[in-house]
Amino acid sequence: QVQLVESGGGLVQAGDSLRLSCAASGRTFSNRSMGWFRQAPGKEREFVAAIGWRTGNTDYADSVKGRFTISRDNAKNTVYLQMSSLKLENTAIYYCAIRLGDNVNSAKDYSYWGQGNQVTVSS
């Protein structure tokens, strides 16, 4: 069984930075991508970023390009999401997950979701 444990969320002001972590334990998928999604109140879960576990190739939602950076530490089985220049609209619960399907930005192609981590951006 795979467990994903997220940490690093919290309350910040607009323009601040925050780093989320996602540590995987149990059975890991060394040849799979991992991704971050977020869900704001009343909205569907949306793709934020993904990273190839071996290649390190990254993908980002247009709304976060240039402000968010996804990275990973294979030795620690951990994926990070560095968020900079945070905006009010970035307030959401952020989830990490392992991609088992082919579509990088589709939540349906991800499994083994973390518990979610609240990020709140205030003015």
Return d(Cα 81, Cα 79) in angstroms, integer: 7
Please give the pLDDT value at position 53. 77
Give the distance between the most distant pair of CA atoms in the chain: 41
Quick: pLDDT tens for 57-110.
Answer: 999 999 999 999 999 988 888 999 999 999 999 999 999 999 988 899 999 999
Q: Report the chain's C-alpha Rg in angstroms.
A: 13
User: Given this model, what pLDDT does residue 115 score?
Assistant: 94
For 62-71, how does the pLDDT look when each residue is reduced to its tens digit (9 = 90+)?
Answer: 999 999 999 9
The 10s digit of each residue's pLDDT in 33-68 is 899 999 999 999 999 999 987 778 999 999 999 999
- Helix then strand count (H, E) for the chain reads 0, 11
So what's the pLDDT on residue 30?
Answer: 61
